[in-house]
């Protein structure tokens, strides 16, 4: 999935300090085995038919968080749910769980026909609802961090060009700047990393502080952009409830007397006294 080069304008607005932070960041590392990937298997690959791949993260048994631009086609139309598959923890062709998608919602603030400017980065979030939940005893969803994105080290788990069939993790990269709900990090991202979770580890197990929207190169260093999440995720959950497909009503015929095996209601004739 395309990683947009959106450095122009954003780098100045955020007053990036890439030179200092980059020295503290670690290299991207492939999680080559299921054992390596075990703690991160709630991160998976979203396969969108005729479009490509993105990274997504399970935040509830039936909800996957990703970037809004991932779920739009070249025609700028929202992808049909049945064209998307989520493969959780995909490692060398084997997934911890694989599910089709029943519903797709991109944040209403994202403009698919617009440019990938600051406003679109700020709203570049989507939720997909799985057709069948993944039980928590199979995979433990990640929690969305509440409040502002903390300064300091974060980590990113993603798929990407050249590693589309295995997770990779950058154990530590740095928040370079924040402004107007846009976050800049020096994390190593590429094609396919769109929608990847940016984790803060201040409260034990990683919590999702942001989602990768796009990136490029600034001062010879890799820079990526995401957004502050809590309000956007709340918006999307409301949007998803409001737009949820209505169940199809099934009509059963009622029959008098009914034969054995007939599921229709049976009427009893009242006897006179």
Is 160 domain-assigned? yes
The better pLDDT of the pair 216, 67 is held by: 67
Average pLDDT over residues 239-257: 72
Query: So what's the pLDDT on residue 84?
Result: 97
Cα separation, 76 vs 112, in Å, equals 6
**pLDDT > 60? residue 220:** yes
Tell me which residue range forms the domain holding 236.
10-243
Is 1 domain-assigned? no
Q: Residue holding tokens 């949820």?
A: 244
Query: So what's the pLDDT on residue 222?
Result: 74
- Band (pLDDT 50/70/90 cuts) for residue 22 is very low
Q: Residue holding tokens 């580890």?
A: 201
Enter the pTM of the model.
0.84
Is 213 domain-assigned? yes
Is 221 domain-assigned? yes
- Alpha-carbon dihedral angle through residues 127, 102, 53, 38, given to the nearest 10 degrees: 80
- Band (pLDDT 50/70/90 cuts) for residue 101 is very high
When mean pLDDT is compared over 24-38, 54-68, 102-116, the highest value belongs to 54-68
**pLDDT > 60? residue 5:** no
Contact in structure between 224 and 170 (CB atoms under 8 Å)? no
Query: So what's the pLDDT on residue 69?
Result: 94
Contact in structure between 119 and 83 (CB atoms under 8 Å)? no
Cα separation, 6 vs 196, in Å, equals 17
Domain with residue 52: its CATH number is 2.40.10.120
Is 254 domain-assigned? no
Is 91 domain-assigned? yes
Is 35 domain-assigned? yes
Look at the chain and report how many structural domains it folds into.
Answer: 1
Is 237 domain-assigned? yes
Task: Quote the percentage of the chain above a pLDDT of 70.
Answer: 80
């Amino acid at each position: 999935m395309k990683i947009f080069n959106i450095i122009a304008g954003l780098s100045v607005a955020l007053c990036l300090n890439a030179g200092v932070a980059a020295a503290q960041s670690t290299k991207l590392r492939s999680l080559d085995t299921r054992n390596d990937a075990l703690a991160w298997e709630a991160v998976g690959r979203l396969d969108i038919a005729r479009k490509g791949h993105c990274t997504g993260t399970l935040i509830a048994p039936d909800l996957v968080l990703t970037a809004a631009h991932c779920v739009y086609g070249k025609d700028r139309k929202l992808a049909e749910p049945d064209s998307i598959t989520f493969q959780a923890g995909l490692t060398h062709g084997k997934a911890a769980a694989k599910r089709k998608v029943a519903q797709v919602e991109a944040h209403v603030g994202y403009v698919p026909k617009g440019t990938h400017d600051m406003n679109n980065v700020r709203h570049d979030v989507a939720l997909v609802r799985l057709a069948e939940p993944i039980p928590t005893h199979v995979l433990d969803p990640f929690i969305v961090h509440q409040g502002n994105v903390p300064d300091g080290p974060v980590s990113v788990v993603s798929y990407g060009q050249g590693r589309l069939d295995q997770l990779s993790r950058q154990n530590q990269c740095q928040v370079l700047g924040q402004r107007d709900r846009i976050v800049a990090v020096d994390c190593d991202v590429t094609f396919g990393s769109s929608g990847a979770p940016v984790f803060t580890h201040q409260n034990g197990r990683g919590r999702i502080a942001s989602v990768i929207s796009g990136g490029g190169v600034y001062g010879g260093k890799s820079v990526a952009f995401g957004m502050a999440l809590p309000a956007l995720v709340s918006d999307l959950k409301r949007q998803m409830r409001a737009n949820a497909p209505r169940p199809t009503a099934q009509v059963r015929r009622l029959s008098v007397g009914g034969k054995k095996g007939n599921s229709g209601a049976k009427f009893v004739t009242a006897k006179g006294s």
